[in-house]
Amino acid sequence: MTERPPVLSVRGLSVRFLMPGGRRVAAVTDARFEVAAGECLALIGESGCGKSVLASALLGLLPANAETAGEAGLDGLDLLSADERTLARTVRGRLIGLVPQSPAAHLTPVRTVRSHLEETVAALTGTRGRRATRAAAEASAARAAFPADHLDRHPHQLSGGLAQRAATALALVGDAPLLLADEPTTGLDRELVERTVDELRRPIDEAGRALLMITHDLSAAERIADRIAVMYAGRIVEIADATAFFGTPGPRHPYSRGLLQALPDRAFAPIPGMPPELDALPDGCAFAPRCPRATDACATPPRPTGTVACHHPHVPEDARA
């Protein structure tokens, strides 16, 4: 397959929060990854590992006590050094289309879906005139498989799945090269999860957009993703091809393997212990206290080797010969 150009290129992204008393808490540390045109990268990990903080950093939506470092290149722009004016006028909606978690909470309850879409069309595309704005809004709804006969409904009249489609339609209005979906399947039943990820996949396949999907739902990630990035305690510990990750040879990092083994359709064996507090991380590998492969070497931070950061990664059987 021809290598696709990166739409988003993240290098050394770190986020720390300045806490009372001068303490600094590292929520994201040295994240490095790319998302290519026509590709979905799923960022997975347990709640609290830093996934949504990373997304907020890309959008410039971190609180005032946050400090960032590194680079995040998108369309010739470094998102981390962009000022608020640039982020508001150029990035949000135009370069990054956001599909938020709990979409119904992001919709104004007294306005219809059509009203949301028409306003967004006018703001992002400059379309003027009632007929043209209406047509563009309906076209965006159709791309997200949102039914036309529901456009004049209010958010409280929508099911969870339809609210998610409305949010996707809004994210598609500006033809952003990157879609960012933050836990888009939260609270949905399995049938709606599958439908939602299939609808998110459509603009990737049909329009060559890039999708960064943040999720703790491994089944959703398996269904939609081309590659998987695994995050633990603020660090990306493994990046792998999705087919190999969920199949053969499987993930290489012990934490990644533990996530798969905890699934009900696999071993259904939970990872022992709890993730560390981000203000009390160990000096070495943060997963070592829970890891069955830990040795004394794990008291020092592992350096990424290829696509996995681990002193003792699993090696495929055919590579041991």
Q: Which residue has the higher pLDDT, 317 or 307?
A: 307
Is the full-model pTM beyond 0.85? yes
**Mean pLDDT (whole number) for 87-114:** 92
Q: Average per-residue pLDDT in the chain?
A: 92
Local structure of 295: helix, strand or coil: coil
Q: Would you state the pLDDT for residue 1?
A: 41
- Decide which of 305 and 156 is more confident: 156
Q: Within 10 A of 272 (CB to CB), how many other CB atoms are there?
A: 10
pLDDT of residue 248: 92
Give the model's pLDDT for residue 144: 87
Q: Rounded distance, CA 72 to CA 108, Å?
A: 31
> Does residue 265 carry a pLDDT above 60?
yes
Average pLDDT over residues 192-221: 91
With a cut of 80, say whether residue 264 has pLDDT above it.
Answer: yes
Fold of 6-95+176-319: Rossmann fold (3.40.50)
Task: Dump pLDDT digits (tens) for 140-172.
Answer: 999 888 999 999 999 999 988 899 899 999 999
Tell me the average pLDDT across 176-193: 89
Q: Is the peptide bond before 249 cis (omega within 30 degrees of 0)?
A: yes
Amino acid identity of residue 221, one-letter, is A
pLDDT of amino acid 321: 43
Helix (H, G, I), strand (E, B) or coil at 116: helix
Mean pLDDT, range 103-130, rounded to an integer:
92
Look up tokens 């590998």; give the residue.
285
Domain ranges, ordered by start, for the chain: 6-95+176-319
DSSP assignment of 61-108, as one string?
Answer: ---TTEEEEEEEEETTEETTT--HHHIIIIIBTTTEEEE-SSGGGGS-
Please determine, for residue 32, whether its predicted confidence score (pLDDT) is greater than 60. yes
Least-confidence region, from 43-47, 205-209, 250-254, 313-317? 313-317
In whole angstroms, what is the distance from residue 88 CA to residue 86 CA? 5
The mean pLDDT value for 106-128 works out to 94
* Pair 212, 38: CB distance under 8 Å: no
